[in-house]
Amino acid sequence: MKLRKVTAASAVVVALSLAVTACGSDKKDDSSSSGGGKIKVGIKYDQPGLGLQKPDGSFSGFDVDVATYIAGKLGYKPDQIEFVQTKSADRENALARGDVKFIAATYSINDERKKKVDFAGPYLLAHQDLLVKKDSDISKGTDLNGKNLCSVVGSTSAQNIHKTIAPKSNLKELGGYSECIAALQSGAVDAVTTDDSILAGFAAQDKYKGQFKLAGLKLSNENYGVGVKKGDTATLDKINKALESMVSDGSWKKAVDKNFGPANYKNEPAPKTGQIVK
Ligand code: GLU
Protein backbone atom coordinates (compact mmCIF):
# COMPACT_ATOMS: atom_id res chain seq x y z
CA MET A 1 0.00 0.00 0.00
CA LYS A 2 2.70 2.40 1.14
CA LEU A 3 4.88 1.34 -1.77
CA ARG A 4 2.08 2.03 -4.24
CA LYS A 5 1.69 5.58 -2.92
CA VAL A 6 5.37 6.27 -3.45
CA THR A 7 5.16 4.91 -6.97
CA ALA A 8 2.20 7.13 -7.75
CA ALA A 9 4.05 10.14 -6.38
CA SER A 10 7.12 9.45 -8.48
CA ALA A 11 4.92 8.99 -11.55
CA VAL A 12 3.65 12.53 -10.97
CA VAL A 13 7.20 13.81 -10.65
CA VAL A 14 8.20 12.07 -13.89
CA ALA A 15 5.14 13.44 -15.69
CA LEU A 16 5.86 16.94 -14.44
CA SER A 17 9.48 16.89 -15.49
CA LEU A 18 8.48 15.61 -18.92
CA ALA A 19 6.07 18.50 -19.23
CA VAL A 20 8.79 20.95 -18.21
CA THR A 21 11.20 19.45 -20.74
CA ALA A 22 8.56 19.68 -23.46
CA CYS A 23 7.97 23.38 -22.68
CA GLY A 24 11.71 24.02 -22.72
CA SER A 25 12.23 22.49 -26.13
CA ASP A 26 9.18 24.28 -27.56
CA LYS A 27 10.73 27.56 -26.56
CA LYS A 28 14.03 26.61 -28.15
CA ASP A 29 12.35 25.76 -31.45
CA ASP A 30 10.73 29.17 -31.40
CA SER A 31 14.00 31.02 -31.71
CA SER A 32 15.90 28.63 -33.92
CA SER A 33 13.50 27.50 -36.63
CA SER A 34 11.59 29.43 -39.21
CA GLY A 35 7.83 29.32 -39.46
CA GLY A 36 5.42 30.58 -36.84
CA GLY A 37 8.00 31.33 -34.14
CA LYS A 38 10.00 34.37 -33.18
CA ILE A 39 13.67 35.10 -33.51
CA LYS A 40 15.59 37.05 -30.87
CA VAL A 41 18.17 39.47 -32.19
CA GLY A 42 20.65 41.57 -30.22
CA ILE A 43 21.07 45.26 -31.12
CA LYS A 44 22.00 48.52 -29.39
CA TYR A 45 19.16 50.70 -28.13
CA ASP A 46 20.93 54.06 -27.71
CA GLN A 47 22.97 54.62 -30.88
CA PRO A 48 21.24 56.94 -33.39
CA GLY A 49 21.76 55.83 -37.01
CA LEU A 50 22.81 52.32 -35.94
CA GLY A 51 20.55 50.84 -33.29
CA LEU A 52 18.02 53.09 -31.62
CA GLN A 53 14.81 52.48 -29.71
CA LYS A 54 12.47 55.35 -30.58
CA PRO A 55 10.03 56.87 -28.06
CA ASP A 56 7.15 54.86 -29.61
CA GLY A 57 9.09 51.63 -28.92
CA SER A 58 10.03 50.92 -32.54
CA PHE A 59 13.63 50.57 -33.74
CA SER A 60 15.73 52.28 -36.40
CA GLY A 61 19.30 52.28 -37.68
CA PHE A 62 21.71 50.53 -40.01
CA ASP A 63 22.19 47.55 -37.67
CA VAL A 64 18.41 47.23 -37.33
CA ASP A 65 18.07 47.13 -41.14
CA VAL A 66 20.92 44.60 -41.46
CA ALA A 67 19.33 42.45 -38.73
CA THR A 68 15.89 42.67 -40.33
CA TYR A 69 17.29 41.68 -43.74
CA ILE A 70 19.16 38.69 -42.24
CA ALA A 71 16.11 37.58 -40.25
CA GLY A 72 14.10 37.74 -43.50
CA LYS A 73 16.57 35.39 -45.19
CA LEU A 74 16.34 33.06 -42.17
CA GLY A 75 12.58 32.92 -42.72
CA TYR A 76 11.28 35.51 -40.23
CA LYS A 77 9.04 38.44 -41.08
CA PRO A 78 9.71 41.78 -39.35
CA ASP A 79 6.88 41.17 -36.86
CA GLN A 80 8.52 37.88 -35.84
CA ILE A 81 11.71 39.65 -34.72
CA GLU A 82 12.12 40.30 -31.02
CA PHE A 83 14.91 42.82 -30.51
CA VAL A 84 16.94 42.50 -27.31
CA GLN A 85 19.31 45.15 -26.00
CA THR A 86 22.90 43.86 -26.03
CA LYS A 87 25.25 46.45 -24.54
CA SER A 88 28.92 46.32 -25.49
CA ALA A 89 29.99 44.37 -22.40
CA ASP A 90 27.10 41.87 -22.62
CA ARG A 91 27.46 40.62 -26.19
CA GLU A 92 29.64 37.52 -25.75
CA ASN A 93 27.60 36.31 -22.77
CA ALA A 94 24.25 36.93 -24.49
CA LEU A 95 25.34 34.66 -27.35
CA ALA A 96 26.88 32.01 -25.09
CA ARG A 97 23.69 31.85 -22.99
CA GLY A 98 21.51 31.64 -26.10
CA ASP A 99 19.58 34.83 -25.18
CA VAL A 100 19.71 35.82 -28.85
CA LYS A 101 20.24 33.98 -32.15
CA PHE A 102 22.57 36.64 -33.53
CA ILE A 103 23.87 40.12 -32.74
CA ALA A 104 24.16 43.13 -35.08
CA ALA A 105 25.36 45.85 -32.73
CA THR A 106 28.45 47.75 -33.97
CA TYR A 107 30.26 44.56 -32.99
CA SER A 108 33.91 44.64 -34.10
CA ILE A 109 35.53 41.37 -35.07
CA ASN A 110 38.74 40.69 -33.13
CA ASP A 111 40.81 37.69 -32.04
CA GLU A 112 39.88 37.96 -28.37
CA ARG A 113 36.16 37.89 -29.12
CA LYS A 114 36.63 35.12 -31.69
CA LYS A 115 37.66 32.82 -28.82
CA LYS A 116 34.12 33.13 -27.44
CA VAL A 117 31.83 33.76 -30.44
CA ASP A 118 31.79 33.34 -34.22
CA PHE A 119 31.37 36.26 -36.62
CA ALA A 120 29.69 36.47 -40.00
CA GLY A 121 30.70 39.36 -42.23
CA PRO A 122 32.22 41.89 -41.95
CA TYR A 123 29.41 44.14 -43.22
CA LEU A 124 30.85 47.61 -42.40
CA LEU A 125 34.26 49.14 -41.81
CA ALA A 126 34.34 52.00 -39.30
CA HIS A 127 37.22 53.77 -37.54
CA GLN A 128 37.75 54.96 -33.99
CA ASP A 129 37.48 58.74 -33.68
CA LEU A 130 36.96 61.48 -31.08
CA LEU A 131 33.94 63.67 -30.47
CA VAL A 132 34.66 66.97 -28.72
CA LYS A 133 32.90 70.26 -28.04
CA LYS A 134 32.88 72.67 -30.97
CA ASP A 135 35.44 75.02 -29.35
CA SER A 136 37.78 72.24 -28.11
CA ASP A 137 41.47 72.31 -29.11
CA ILE A 138 41.79 68.51 -28.93
CA SER A 139 42.61 67.41 -32.46
CA LYS A 140 44.75 64.29 -32.17
CA GLY A 141 45.15 61.17 -30.03
CA THR A 142 48.16 62.46 -28.11
CA ASP A 143 46.17 65.56 -27.01
CA LEU A 144 44.20 63.17 -24.82
CA ASN A 145 46.91 62.32 -22.32
CA GLY A 146 45.94 63.94 -19.02
CA LYS A 147 42.43 64.70 -20.31
CA ASN A 148 39.09 63.27 -19.15
CA LEU A 149 37.77 60.88 -21.71
CA CYS A 150 34.68 58.70 -21.97
CA SER A 151 34.02 55.39 -23.67
CA VAL A 152 32.03 52.24 -23.01
CA VAL A 153 32.92 49.24 -20.89
CA GLY A 154 33.59 46.12 -22.99
CA SER A 155 34.31 48.11 -26.17
CA THR A 156 37.38 47.96 -28.40
CA SER A 157 37.39 51.78 -28.18
CA ALA A 158 38.20 51.70 -24.45
CA GLN A 159 40.76 48.94 -24.96
CA ASN A 160 42.56 50.87 -27.71
CA ILE A 161 42.82 53.95 -25.48
CA HIS A 162 44.44 51.93 -22.67
CA LYS A 163 46.75 49.98 -24.97
CA THR A 164 47.90 52.42 -27.62
CA ILE A 165 46.05 55.68 -28.28
CA ALA A 166 46.30 57.51 -24.94
CA PRO A 167 47.32 55.29 -22.01
CA LYS A 168 47.81 58.38 -19.83
CA SER A 169 44.32 59.78 -20.28
CA ASN A 170 41.75 59.57 -17.53
CA LEU A 171 39.26 57.19 -19.13
CA LYS A 172 35.75 56.84 -17.71
CA GLU A 173 34.03 53.68 -18.90
CA LEU A 174 30.25 53.91 -18.82
CA GLY A 175 27.51 51.44 -19.87
CA GLY A 176 26.48 53.07 -23.15
CA TYR A 177 27.53 55.85 -25.52
CA SER A 178 24.47 57.99 -24.75
CA GLU A 179 25.79 58.28 -21.18
CA CYS A 180 29.19 59.42 -22.51
CA ILE A 181 27.53 62.05 -24.72
CA ALA A 182 25.67 63.41 -21.70
CA ALA A 183 29.00 63.62 -19.85
CA LEU A 184 30.55 65.52 -22.77
CA GLN A 185 27.66 67.97 -22.90
CA SER A 186 27.85 68.65 -19.16
CA GLY A 187 31.63 69.16 -19.32
CA ALA A 188 32.37 66.13 -17.09
CA VAL A 189 34.63 64.81 -19.87
CA ASP A 190 36.67 66.50 -22.62
CA ALA A 191 36.06 63.92 -25.35
CA VAL A 192 34.07 60.79 -26.20
CA THR A 193 35.84 58.11 -28.18
CA THR A 194 34.41 55.28 -30.23
CA ASP A 195 33.62 54.46 -33.87
CA ASP A 196 33.12 57.45 -36.20
CA SER A 197 29.84 55.86 -37.39
CA ILE A 198 28.42 56.07 -33.86
CA LEU A 199 29.78 59.54 -33.07
CA ALA A 200 28.44 61.01 -36.33
CA GLY A 201 24.97 59.72 -35.43
CA PHE A 202 25.02 61.50 -32.08
CA ALA A 203 26.48 64.74 -33.44
CA ALA A 204 23.63 64.96 -35.99
CA GLN A 205 20.86 64.70 -33.38
CA ASP A 206 18.67 67.81 -33.27
CA LYS A 207 19.35 68.31 -29.57
CA TYR A 208 23.14 68.37 -30.13
CA LYS A 209 23.27 70.22 -33.46
CA GLY A 210 26.16 72.70 -33.60
CA GLN A 211 27.55 71.66 -30.20
CA PHE A 212 30.10 68.98 -31.08
CA LYS A 213 32.66 68.16 -33.77
CA LEU A 214 34.39 64.97 -34.87
CA ALA A 215 38.18 65.08 -34.92
CA GLY A 216 38.17 63.06 -38.17
CA LEU A 217 40.98 60.70 -37.07
CA LYS A 218 41.14 57.10 -38.19
CA LEU A 219 42.54 55.72 -34.95
CA SER A 220 41.65 52.07 -35.69
CA ASN A 221 39.88 49.75 -38.10
CA GLU A 222 36.59 48.42 -36.75
CA ASN A 223 35.26 45.59 -38.90
CA TYR A 224 31.62 45.08 -37.91
CA GLY A 225 30.58 41.43 -37.83
CA VAL A 226 27.36 39.64 -36.99
CA GLY A 227 27.96 37.60 -33.83
CA VAL A 228 26.57 34.09 -33.47
CA LYS A 229 27.04 31.40 -30.82
CA LYS A 230 30.43 29.68 -31.07
CA GLY A 231 30.07 26.60 -33.28
CA ASP A 232 26.72 27.56 -34.86
CA THR A 233 28.11 27.21 -38.37
CA ALA A 234 24.68 26.57 -39.93
CA THR A 235 23.47 30.04 -38.87
CA LEU A 236 26.85 31.58 -39.67
CA ASP A 237 26.78 30.32 -43.26
CA LYS A 238 23.20 31.52 -43.79
CA ILE A 239 24.07 34.98 -42.42
CA ASN A 240 27.13 35.27 -44.68
CA LYS A 241 24.94 34.44 -47.67
CA ALA A 242 22.31 36.96 -46.51
CA LEU A 243 24.96 39.71 -46.17
CA GLU A 244 26.29 38.95 -49.65
CA SER A 245 22.83 39.23 -51.18
CA MET A 246 22.13 42.39 -49.17
CA VAL A 247 25.08 43.99 -50.97
CA SER A 248 24.38 42.53 -54.44
CA ASP A 249 20.66 43.39 -54.51
CA GLY A 250 21.26 47.02 -53.50
CA SER A 251 19.67 46.81 -50.02
CA TRP A 252 22.99 47.45 -48.28
CA LYS A 253 23.50 50.73 -50.14
CA LYS A 254 19.89 51.73 -49.50
CA ALA A 255 20.30 51.11 -45.77
CA VAL A 256 23.58 53.07 -45.74
CA ASP A 257 22.01 56.09 -47.46
CA LYS A 258 18.92 56.04 -45.28
CA ASN A 259 20.73 55.73 -41.96
CA PHE A 260 24.07 57.51 -42.49
CA GLY A 261 22.88 60.18 -44.94
CA PRO A 262 21.27 62.38 -42.26
CA ALA A 263 24.47 62.25 -40.16
CA ASN A 264 26.60 63.07 -43.22
CA TYR A 265 28.73 60.02 -42.38
CA LYS A 266 31.05 59.04 -45.20
CA ASN A 267 31.14 55.27 -44.96
CA GLU A 268 33.71 52.91 -46.47
CA PRO A 269 32.62 50.65 -49.36
CA ALA A 270 30.89 47.35 -48.57
CA PRO A 271 33.43 44.81 -47.29
CA LYS A 272 33.70 41.30 -48.76
CA THR A 273 32.91 38.27 -46.58
CA GLY A 274 35.92 37.25 -44.51
CA GLN A 275 37.98 40.28 -45.54
CA ILE A 276 39.17 41.88 -42.31
CA VAL A 277 41.06 45.18 -42.53
CA LYS A 278 43.75 45.05 -39.84
N1 GLU B 1 32.86 48.67 -32.51
C2 GLU B 1 33.42 48.78 -31.22
C3 GLU B 1 33.23 47.52 -30.37
O4 GLU B 1 32.77 46.55 -30.84
C5 GLU B 1 32.91 49.99 -30.45
C6 GLU B 1 31.42 50.15 -30.50
C7 GLU B 1 30.70 49.33 -29.45
O8 GLU B 1 31.04 49.41 -28.26
O9 GLU B 1 29.76 48.64 -29.82
O10 GLU B 1 33.58 47.48 -29.24
Tell me the average pLDDT of the chain: 90
| CATH number for the domain harbouring residue 235 | 3.40.190.10
What is the helix (H) or strand (E) element at residue 228, kind and residue range? strand 222-229
d(CA 125, CA 1) in angstroms, rounded, equals 73
Beta bridge partners, 213, equal 132
Same domain for 102 and 52, yes or no, is: yes
Q: For the chain, what is the domain count?
A: 2
> Is pLDDT at 235 greater than 50 in this prediction?
yes
User: Has residue 161 been placed in a domain?
Assistant: yes
Question: Domain boundary at 156, 190, 214, which?
Answer: 214
Same domain for 45 and 92, yes or no, is: yes
Question: Domain boundary at 175, 196, 214, which?
Answer: 214
Same domain for 231 and 107, yes or no, is: yes
Three-state SS at 88: helix
User: Has residue 34 been placed in a domain?
Assistant: no
> Is pLDDT at 14 greater than 60 in this prediction?
no
pLDDT digits (tens, 9 = 90+) for 86-136: 999 999 999 999 999 999 999 999 999 999 999 999 999 999 999 999 999
User: Has residue 251 been placed in a domain?
Assistant: yes
Atom of ligand 1 nearest to the CA of 155: 10
User: Has residue 185 been placed in a domain?
Assistant: yes
Same domain for 134 and 89, yes or no, is: no
Which protein residues touch ligand 1 with a CB less than 6 Å away? Answer: 88, 105-108, 152, 155-157, 194-195, 222
Range of the domain at 64: 39-126+222-263
Atom of ligand 1 nearest to the CA of 107: 4
| Ligand 1 mutation pick, 156, 202, 276, max ligand atoms within 8 A of CB | 156
Query: Tell me, what amino acid is at 113?
Result: R
Same domain for 169 and 50, yes or no, is: no
Same domain for 86 and 145, yes or no, is: no
Same domain for 120 and 180, yes or no, is: no
Q: Look at ligand 1, atom 6, and give the residue with the nearest C-alpha.
A: 106
Same domain for 89 and 197, yes or no, is: no
User: Has residue 243 been placed in a domain?
Assistant: yes
pLDDT digits (tens, 9 = 90+) for 32-45: 444 579 999 999 99
pLDDT digits (tens, 9 = 90+) for 131-174: 999 999 999 999 999 999 999 999 999 999 999 999 999 999 99
Please tell me the pTM assigned to this model: 0.88
Atom of ligand 1 nearest to the CA of 177: 8
Same domain for 122 and 146, yes or no, is: no
Give the torsion through C-alpha atoms of 44, 50, 55, 58, to 10 deg.
-80
Same domain for 115 and 176, yes or no, is: no
Same domain for 139 and 115, yes or no, is: no
Same domain for 163 and 231, yes or no, is: no
Instruction: Give the end-to-end CA distance of the chain in Å, rounded to a whole number.
Output: 74
